[in-house]
Structure 1
Amino acid sequence: MVDHRFVDRDGVRLHFVVADPTGATTEPTATNTEPRGTVVLIHGFPHFWFTWHRMIPVLTAAGWRVIAPDLRGFGGSDAPGDVAAYAPREVVDDVLAVCDEAGPLAGRPPDDPVVLVGFDFGAGVAYDVCHLEPGRVRAVIGMENPFMGTAGSVPPLEGSATMAEKHFLHLHYFAQPGVAEADLAGREREFLTRVFWALSADYHYLDVWSHPPGSTYLEALPEAPPLPWPWLSVEEMDTYEAEYVRTGFAGPLQWYRAMDVSWHARKEFERRTNPVPYYFLYSEHDPDLEGFHGRDPLSKLDRYHDDVRMVRAISAPAGHLMHLEATEDTHEAILACLVDISQSSLNI
C-alpha cells in the first residue's frame, strides 16, 4: 500500500509515494523489528513512480521504507517549461525536499541518510545527489547507467546533432522542441509499447540507428507483439498509457532538451569522484552500456566512484528494463546490495 503525497518546492509541485516497512530489519536473520532505513527509488524515461510498483512491496517486506518520486516533468509532478529548471541542482533539491517532507522514519535518527536507487535518467540524478549532497546519502545503487560522463569539449546535444546527420538518433529527435510531442500525441500506447519492446532483450535496440536521418521515432522503432508479454501485462501498460495520455510527453522530453544544461553543470565536479559507497547492477543486453558510455564502461567505474562495493550482472536475460524483464533477479540483486549496506553500517 502506498501513500500518495505532494510537496511544493519553489513553486514546483512534486508528487511522490511513500510505503512503510512491514518486515524485519538490520540483519537478514534478525528477529527484532527495527527498521533498516529509507530507500529512494528514482525512475527514468518514459516512466514515473509506477515503474517501481513490483519492487516497493519487496523492499518494505525486507524492513525498508520506500520513497518513490515522480521527477519534475513526469507523472503527477509539475513540468516547468524552461530547460534550466532541470539542472542538477534543481533536481537534487527536489529529491531532498521529497525526503524532508516524508520526514524521519520511526526508529531511525532524524538526519538518517537514505539509500538511492537510480535507473536511466534517475541514475544521473542519484549520482548528482552524491556529488552535491553526499552527507544525505548512505549508499547509491546504479542500474544500467554506471556514470554520467562529461568528457570532451562538445556538449551532448551538439554531438547528437552531428551523429543524427548519419542516421536516426532518439537524442536528437527528442531535443527538437515540439516535434516528438506532436508526433506522439494520440499514439501514446503505440509508442510506449514499441519503445519498451525495443529496449528489451527481445530486440537489439541499436538497430534503430539503421534508419535514415529525418525518421520519426515511430518509423525507427520495431513493431511489437500484442500484450501481454512474459514480463509486462496489459494492465501495466494501461497504467502507463493513461498517465501519458493525461500528461503528454512535453514535460518528460525536457530532460533530453536539458542535457547540455546538465553537462555544463556537471563540469563543476567532473574531476571529483563520487564519495558515497557505490553498487552497480546491470543486464547483459542493456543498450545503454553497449552504445552510450564508451568502450568497456565497467572497467572505468573507479574513475567515477571512490568506493565501489559491488558490481553485479543479473543472471536472467534482460535488456534496458531489467526491473520489468527480470523482476525476481533484479529484486534479489537489490536486496543483496541492501544487506551489504546494512551490515556495513553495523560494522562502522
Structure 2
Amino acid sequence: MTLYNRMLIGFTTPFLFVSTSPLLAKETTQPVGQQPTETAPQFNVQSMAEYGGVLTPRGRLILEPEFQYSHESINRMTFEGVSVLSTLLIGVFTAQDVDRDNYTASLTGRLGVTDRLELEMKVPYVYRDENQRVNVPIENSPDGVFKLDRELSGDSLGDIELAAHYQLNRGQNGMPFFIGNLRYKTTTGKGPFDIDRNSEGNPLELSTGTGFHSIEPSITMLLPSAPAVYFANLGYVFHLEDNVKQSLSGENNDGSPLNVVVGDVDPGDAVRLSFGMAYSINPRSSFTLGYKNDFIGKTKTEYVNVDNGSTTPVESQTLNVGSLLLGWNYSINPDVSINLGLELGITEDAPDTTLTLRMPFGMDVF
C-alpha cells in the first residue's frame, strides 16, 4: 500500500550525519630546544545536528542549507506454483522492477538559547520520482504477458520539523556528554491519503510527507578522546493514530460497487539506534564512520464497509532499515564549514544510497 512505502521512505530519508570540529587536533608550538609540556586537549565538539551534539553557544545562530539525494532500486522475481525439482518449476512468474529517486532541499536553523539549551527548526522541500515496471504472464494478452509501465512524481513542501536539545551534564573529568533531544514532525507535506487518485483508487502522484504527526524523544552520548569523538544515540518515534476517512472505489467479486472507507490508521512506532566515531585528521578536516538502524513496527489500518458497518483490520510488515554512515567535514573558517555524507543501505528495507551535502554557517545574534 502507498502508506507502507511512505513509511519506509519517511524513515530512511533523514540522514544521520555527524561531524566534529577539526579543532580536536589543534596544534601547539613550543620554543626550540624546550621539552613540550603536557596540556589537556581543548575539545570543541560542534553541533551534531541530528544527535543534539554539544550545543550551539548562547546567542549563536546556525543556518544550514542542505541538499539530499536518495536512490532505491527494487528488483523482485515472484513465483506462484509447484516446484517438482530444483530445476523444474510449474507456475507463474512475476517480475517487478522499481526505481525511486528522492531529492530534498532544506534549510535548518539552530539557535543557542542558553549554553545548555538549543532550539531547531527544519523546513524541507521534496521532489520524488518513481518508475515501476511489472511483467505478469496471462492468457488473454496478445503476447502472453501483461506489462505495466508507470511513472509517478510529486513535489511540494515536506514535513516541517521542530526540535529542542538540552545538555544534561558538563562532561568533566573524562565523563561523556549526555544530551536529551525532543523532535516533533508536522504534517505540512502531502501524505499518502492527501494525493490525487484515479477512479480505481490508484495514485496519480507521490506523497511528500508521512501524513501523521510524530514525536521522537532520544538521548545522545558523546565521548571525546582526542583526536576522536565517539557517539551513540537511542530514540523512540511515536506516530500518532488518525482517522483518515477516505473512500475507496471499485467493485466486489460479484461486480457490485465497492463501498469501503479507510478508517483509523496507526503507523508503526520505531526504535532508532546509531553509533560511530568522528575522527579529526588535521585542524581543518575530519571524517565520520558510523552505523544506524531503525526498527519500524507494523502499520495497522482499518477498512470499514459502509453497507453493513463491518470492520476489517489489516497490518503491514515490520521494517528493518540499517545503513552504514560515512562523512567528511572541511572547515573553511570558524563560521563556515562543508559537510558531505554518504549513507549505504545494508538491509533490504533501506535505500541503496543517500548523499547529503550541508554547508552550515554561524553568526552571533545576541
The alignment's TM-score, normalised by the length of structure 2, stands at: 0.25
Q: Larger C-alpha radius of gyration, 1 or 2?
A: 2
The alignment's TM-score, normalised by the length of structure 1, stands at: 0.26
Higher helix share: 1
Higher strand share: 2
